[in-house]
């Protein structure tokens, strides 16, 4: 009996205490009707703990999810290249929703309640955060960086200045003529789609100052605003992995019951509402065009100058080819500003192509110098065509080399010997031609034609090594520019088409 009596007394005490607390709160709850009250006093009465809980979201009459509408004012953008593309944003965020608990049209004549930090802390606010941010902070150290306004019918407008650093999914394949797409993703942290839905304002949800669209290295060419519902069902791996839940291993999933394509996109579930700002940037390529591409073209063209230099002037040709090669390597400083990526970029293709043209001009000089330094003699050809001329010039094992001078290969002594040999051979050829001409006087017309064809065949199927070297240089003057023009047509077509 003692235990039963004690339990009854405890239950009675609890009921009495709860009743007294309820009556006390009711007695301590200030009335809303108060003439001449200030804004802070009215907000304090509206948000008193007896009638308002800032941790509980507003509940609509019909049980629909609370709509929170957003608008952004962006007044500073800054792009930064590191191992990944990042950009900094300074913006003013405005969120608008309806909280009928704060309506005061029935007991106050005020048209609007505006307050700063002390009033902001007393009102419920949606929990918004950036899904793809590296860091974020509320700007400023004073209360003026957060402002809230309440209309007589309970419409709440919350404004705050934020500074955030975001990461982008880079596509550097066509650097420096590339386009980059970056996202500012704002997610609702606490409530799912059943309770809170984030929406953009109907007209101009994102506004910017005029100087924001032109950055140091990029131009902002387009800006779009979408929500998480707009990308549902689309195959955007970055956005889906950022805003979705229950997507563990989606990129490695080959087949699922609801995914006929086998890529796992339909296995992602979007449970919370998100707002997304899509920034489309175009890189300013003027710096790279005038400081890299134009000089590299000039260096390639300069390397062809060796084709017009006499093969005997070896130091000049070596100096010209070597300097163009080293100068082109010096232009590679442009890559220092590039993020370190493993994929092949278009500027890498350009670098390899131009480097190959300069190297081939150097190789052409070495080949011509080898042919030119052979002993001067007539080399028989089956036909006067490029195929047989190059084939004959490569057969160097059966052609003796000239004795080199004690100094350099282009010494005056060696040049005099060559000139003497050439003069002797020309006199011999003239003598043969004179004898043939005298013989032509004593034969008929038919024999003259046969003999003429024989002389033409004799002249067209023999070349000296010096003539071969000059012939290779003449052909290179045409072949190299034509090949470089074709390379440019293919490269720039792939870049811009």
Annotate 450-470 with DSSP letters as a single string: HHHHHHHHHHHTEEEHHHHHH
Any domain includes 7: no
Q: How confident is the model at residue 230 (pLDDT cuts 50, 70, 90)?
A: confident
pLDDT mean over 362-377: 78
pLDDT mean over 209-213: 78
What is the C-alpha radius of gyration for the chain, rounded to an integer number of angstroms?
A: 43
Rounded distance between C-alpha atoms, residue 400 and residue 374, angstroms: 7
Q: Each residue of 8-28: pLDDT tens digit?
A: 555 655 555 545 444 445 457
Any domain includes 148: yes
Shared domain for 308 and 201, answered yes or no, is no
Shared domain for 343 and 482, answered yes or no, is yes
Return the CATH number at 358.
Answer: 1.20.58.390
Any domain includes 128: yes
Domain boundary (165, 189, 212) is at 212
Shared domain for 44 and 162, answered yes or no, is yes
Instruction: Spell out the residues 6+ positions from residue 195 whose beta carbon is closer than 8 angstroms to its own.
Output: 57, 65, 66
First CA to last CA distance, the chain = 95
Q: Is 186 in contact with 198 (CB distance < 8 Å)?
A: yes
Shared domain for 166 and 292, answered yes or no, is no
What pLDDT sits at residue 370?
82
Number of folded domains in the chain?
2
Q: Is 50 in contact with 29 (CB distance < 8 Å)?
A: yes
pLDDT mean over 221-229: 87
Shared domain for 365 and 489, answered yes or no, is yes
What pLDDT sits at residue 209?
85
**Residue 239, exposed/middle/buried by CB under 10 A (0-12, 13-18, 19+)?**
buried
What pLDDT sits at residue 491?
94
Any domain includes 293: yes
Within a 10 A sphere around the Cβ of 71, how many other Cβ atoms? 20
Rounded distance between C-alpha atoms, residue 45 and residue 31, angstroms: 7
159 is written with which tokens?
């404004």
Instruction: Spell out the residues 6+ positions from residue 380 whose beta carbon is closer than 8 angstroms to its own.
Output: 392, 461, 462
Any domain includes 99: yes
What range does the domain containing 299 cover? 286-377+475-496
Shared domain for 170 and 49, answered yes or no, is yes
Any domain includes 227: no
The more confidently predicted of residues 345 and 363 is 363
What pLDDT sits at residue 454?
59
- Our CA dihedral for 283, 288, 293, 294, rounded to 10 degrees, sits at 120
Q: Is 119 in contact with 43 (CB distance < 8 Å)?
A: yes
Question: Could you give the percent of the chain with pLDDT greater than 90?
Answer: 16
* Least confident stretch, 39-48, 66-75, 398-407: 398-407
Q: Each residue of 153-166: pLDDT tens digit?
A: 999 999 998 888 88
Return the CATH number at 99.
Answer: 2.70.170.10
The answer, yes or no, to whether residue 287 has pLDDT greater than 70, is yes
Domain boundary (212, 239, 259) is at 212
Domain boundary (165, 185, 212) is at 212
Q: Each residue of 257-283: pLDDT tens digit?
A: 344 444 444 445 567 788 999 998 888
Q: How many angstroms separate the most distant Cα atoms in the chain?
A: 163
Any domain includes 149: yes
Shared domain for 307 and 203, answered yes or no, is no
Shared domain for 203 and 112, answered yes or no, is yes
């Amino acid at each position: 009996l003692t235990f039963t009596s004690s339990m009854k007394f405890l239950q009675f005490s609890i009921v009495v205490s709860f009743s007294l607390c309820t009556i006390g709160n009711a007695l301590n709850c200030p009335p809303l009707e108060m003439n001449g009250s200030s804004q802070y006093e009215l907000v304090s009465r509206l948000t008193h703990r007896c009638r308002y809980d800032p941790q509980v979201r507003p509940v609509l009459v019909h049980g629909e999810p609370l709509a929170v509408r957003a608008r952004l004012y962006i007044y500073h953008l800054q792009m930064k290249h590191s191992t990944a593309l990042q950009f900094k944003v300074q913006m003013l965020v405005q969120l608008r929703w309806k909280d009928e608990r704060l309506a005061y049209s029935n007991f106050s004549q005020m048209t609007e309640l505006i307050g700063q930090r002390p009033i902001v802390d007393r009102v419920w606010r949606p929990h918004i955060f950036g899904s793809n941010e590296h860091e974020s902070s509320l700007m400023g150290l004073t209360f003026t960086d957060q402002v809230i306004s309440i209309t007589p019918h309970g419409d709440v407008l919350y404004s705050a200045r934020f500074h955030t650093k975001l990461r982008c999914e880079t596509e550097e394949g066509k650097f420096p003529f590339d386009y980059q797409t970056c996202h500012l993703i704002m997610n609702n942290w606490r409530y799912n789609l059943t309770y809170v839905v984030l929406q953009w304002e109907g007209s101009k949800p994102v506004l910017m100052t005029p100087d924001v669209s032109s950055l140091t290295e990029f131009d902002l060419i387009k800006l779009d605003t979408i929500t998480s519902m707009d990308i549902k069902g689309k195959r955007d791996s970055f956005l889906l992995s950022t805003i979705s839940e229950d997507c563990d291993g989606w990129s490695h999933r080959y087949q699922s019951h609801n995914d006929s394509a086998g890529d796992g996109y339909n296995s992602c579930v979007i449970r919370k509402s998100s707002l997304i700002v899509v920034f489309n940037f175009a890189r300013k390529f003027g710096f790279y065009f005038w400081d890299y591409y134009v000089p590299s073209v000039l260096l390639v063209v300069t390397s062809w100058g060796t084709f017009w230099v006499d093969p005997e002037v070896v130091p000049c040709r070596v100096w010209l080819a070597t300097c163009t090669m080293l100068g082109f390597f010096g232009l590679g400083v442009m890559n220092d500003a590039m993020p370190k990526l493993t994929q092949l970029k278009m500027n890498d293709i350009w670098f390899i192509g131009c480097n190959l043209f300069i190297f081939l001009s150097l190789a052409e000089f070495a080949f011509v110098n080898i042919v030119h330094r052979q002993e001067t003699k007539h080399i028989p050809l089956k036909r006067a065509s490029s195929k047989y001329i190059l084939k004959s010039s490569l057969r160097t094992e059966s052609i003796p080399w000239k004795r080199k001078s004690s100094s350099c290969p282009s010494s005056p002594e060696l040049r005099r010997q060559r000139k003497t040999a050439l003069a002797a051979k020309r006199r011999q050829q003239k003598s043969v031609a004179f004898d043939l001409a005298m013989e032509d006087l004593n034969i008929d017309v038919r024999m003259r034609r046969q003999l003429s064809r024989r002389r033409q065949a004799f002249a067209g199927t023999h070349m000296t090594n010096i003539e071969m070297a000059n012939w290779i240089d003449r052909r290179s003057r045409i072949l190299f520019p034509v090949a470089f023009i074709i390379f440019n047509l293919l490269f720039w077509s792939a870049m811009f088409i």
